[in-house]
């Protein structure tokens, strides 16, 4: 491989990128815009769930339970109703997502030590949020019940109830349980995959459509020199995108970066190389900018978003889909980013994912060189 010819092709591609504001917008502006949009809009945290209350008891005890619910960061009581019709109307019109119904005999049952059932109605159209909200409500009512039982025992001069199992949870790696802390690193992987493949998917196809490929074929430039020369500018822009994304995560989204920064950029470079080479393969095979961009979007965004473990746990997917995820490179990059960002682990733990990412890049580069032929066919 002649480095002089590689430099010449890279210089030509650099000039094209710098002289085309649309390419610069796609290369730098779109990743930053997507990170801003997803980083702020996409959240899995469940808090301030709007609740309507039908308190038929109207006692100090029932009001204490409602205050416990409203005082937590997970629920917000927005209205008190007097019947099921108004309760259903609030949920049907999406003013409330949940409803608490306290029976008239609630305080009386508690006072004499009988069971005091209450009803918690949840809008299940958003199953994930509904499940989490039910879990929060159960914990709040359980604590309230334990306190009510102990209050009765104290009034009778009896010892308080001792809980046989005392669970004390401790959260590692994301102590505040902020979904943003693992969404932003995953977003970097998804965005880089999409942008990298889309950028290089237009390079060779553009040469064919503009009629300049014939001139390149007539030059002494070899296939590998052309491929590497065209990848160099976009690799530089892609690494700049990674730098900007890391800085935004650190200073804008306050995502903790506990691991080695050099390792982070090292695995990003491997991932970027494979994604750019994949875009080159698409461009070489399709020879059409429109078709190349469509194929690049379908083959990168959907698999990276759905089957990388970024949004949905791979372990919860059906077995056939879990097998398919092994050919999605973003799966390994997401695992690497989360390990470096949140856990602060190094290659001694992440060597498997890093090796597979390197293998992916090697295969894509080899495939690009195999597919490109200096022929007018």
Q: Is the dihedral of CA 307, 312, 318, 319 positive or negative?
A: positive
Per-residue pLDDT of 188-226, as tens digits, reads 888 888 888 777 887 777 777 777 777 777 778 888 888
Pairing type for strands 98-102 and 119-122 reads antiparallel
Q: What is the rounded (10 degree) CA torsion for 348, 349, 355, 356?
A: 180
Q: What residues does 79 pair with on adjacent strands?
A: 52
Mean pLDDT within 245-264: 92
Phi first, then psi, for residue 202 (nearest 5°) are -100, -10
What region does 257 belong to: left with phi over 0, alpha with psi -120 to 50, or beta?
beta
Higher-pLDDT residue of 3 and 333 is 333
What is the pLDDT at residue 331? 94
Domain range list for the chain: 3-43+178-371, 49-155
Round to whole Å and give the CA distance between 56 and 82: 8
Q: Is pLDDT at 159 greater than 90 in this prediction? A: no
**Per residue in 329-347, pLDDT tens?**
999 999 999 999 999 999 9
Rounded to an integer, the average pLDDT of 259-264 is 94
Tokens, residue 276: 């750019």
pTM score of the predicted model: 0.82
**Given a cut of 70, is residue 374 above it in pLDDT?**
no
| Both structure tokens of 191 | 């965005």
120: three-class secondary structure by DSSP: strand
Cα–Cα dist 46/118, whole Å: 22
Residue 264 has pLDDT above 70, yes or no: yes
DSSP state of 116: -
Average confidence (pLDDT) over 316-333: 93
Q: CA angle at residue 80 from 74 to 85, to 5 degrees?
A: 110
Q: Which two tokens stand for residue 350?
A: 């992440």
**What are the angstrom distances between the C-alpha of 346 and each of 2, 123, 333, 367?**
36, 43, 14, 30
pLDDT (0 to 100) of residue 164:
77
N-term to C-term CA, the chain: 24
Q: Provide the β-strand partners of residue 50.
A: 76
315: left (phi over 0), alpha (psi -120 to 50) or beta: alpha
Between 107-116, 120-129, 151-160, 226-235, the lowest mean confidence (pLDDT) is in 151-160
Residue with token string 């200096």: 374
**Which single residue is written with the structure tokens 């990276």?**
304
Residue 121 host element (H or E): strand 119-122
CB 51 within 8 A of CB 76: yes
pLDDT band per the 50, 70, 90 thresholds, residue 376 = low
Res 186: pLDDT: 87
pLDDT at residue 296 is higher than 60: yes
Cβ-contact 63, 71 below 8 angstroms? no
Please state whether 283 falls in left (phi above 0), alpha (psi between -120 and 50) or beta: alpha
Of 211 and 133, more confident: 133
Please, what is the average pLDDT of the chain? 87
Q: Quick one: pLDDT band at residue 88, thresholds 50, 70, 90? A: very high
Residue 377 has pLDDT above 60, yes or no: no
Q: Does domain 49-155 have CATH number 3.40.1710.10?
A: yes
Q: Given this model, what pLDDT does residue 102 score?
A: 95
Q: Which residues pair with 302 in a beta bridge?
A: none
The pair of three-digit structure tokens given for residue 206, joined into one six-digit string: 């553009």
Q: What is the spatial distance between Cα 23 and Cα 188, in angstroms, rounded to a whole number?
A: 20
Which whole number is the average pLDDT over 90-95?
93
pLDDT at 158: 77
Class of residue 343 by CB neighbours under 10 A (exposed 0-12, middle 13-18, buried 19+): middle
Mean of the pLDDT values across residues 257-281? 93
Please tell me the predicted confidence (pLDDT) of residue 41.
78
The residue length of the chain stands at 377
């Amino acid at each position: 491989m002649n480095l002089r010819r590689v430099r010449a092709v890279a210089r030509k591609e650099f000039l094209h990128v710098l002289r085309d504001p649309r390419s610069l917008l796609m290369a730098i502006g779109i990743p930053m815009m997507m990170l801003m949009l997803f980083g702020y809009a996409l959240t899995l945290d469940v808090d301030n769930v709007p609740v309507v209350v039908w308190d038929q008891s109207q006692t100090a005890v029932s009001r204490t339970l409602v205050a416990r619910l409203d005082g937590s960061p997970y629920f917000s009581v927005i209205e008190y109703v007097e019947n099921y019709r108004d309760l259903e109307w609030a949920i049907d019109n999406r003013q409330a997502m949940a409803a608490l119904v306290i029976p008239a005999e609630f305080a009386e049952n508690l006072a004499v030590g009988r069971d005091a059932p209450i009803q918690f109605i949840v809008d299940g159209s958003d199953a994930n949020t509904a499940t989490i909200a039910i879990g929060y409500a159960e914990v709040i009512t359980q604590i309230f019940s334990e306190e009510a039982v102990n209050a009765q025992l104290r009034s009778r001069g009896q010892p308080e109830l001792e809980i046989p199992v005392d669970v004390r949870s401790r959260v590692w790696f994301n102590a505040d349980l902020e979904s943003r802390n693992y969404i932003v690193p995953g977003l970097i992987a998804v965005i880089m995959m999409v942008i990298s493949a889309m950028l290089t998917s237009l390079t060779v196809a553009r040469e064919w459509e503009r009629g300049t490929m014939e001139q390149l074929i007539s030059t002494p430039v070899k296939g590998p020199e052309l491929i590497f020369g065209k990848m160099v500018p976009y690799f530089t822009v892609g690494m700049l995108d990674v730098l900007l994304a890391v800085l935004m995560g650190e200073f804008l989204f306050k995502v903790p970066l506990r691991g080695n920064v050099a390792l982070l950029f090292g695995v990003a470079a491997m991932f970027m190389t494979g994604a750019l080479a994949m875009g080159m393969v698409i461009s070489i095979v399709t020879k059409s900018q429109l078709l190349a961009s469509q194929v690049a979007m379908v083959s990168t965004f959907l698999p990276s978003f759905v089957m990388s473990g970024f949004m949905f746990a791979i372990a919860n997917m059906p077995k056939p889909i879990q097998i398919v995820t092994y050919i999605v490179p973003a799966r390994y990059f997401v695992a690497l980013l989360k390990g470096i960002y949140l856990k602060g682990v190094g290659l001694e733990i992440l060597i498997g994912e890093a090796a597979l990412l390197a293998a992916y890049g090697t295969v894509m580069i080899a495939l690009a060189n195999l597919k490109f032929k200096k022929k007018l066919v």
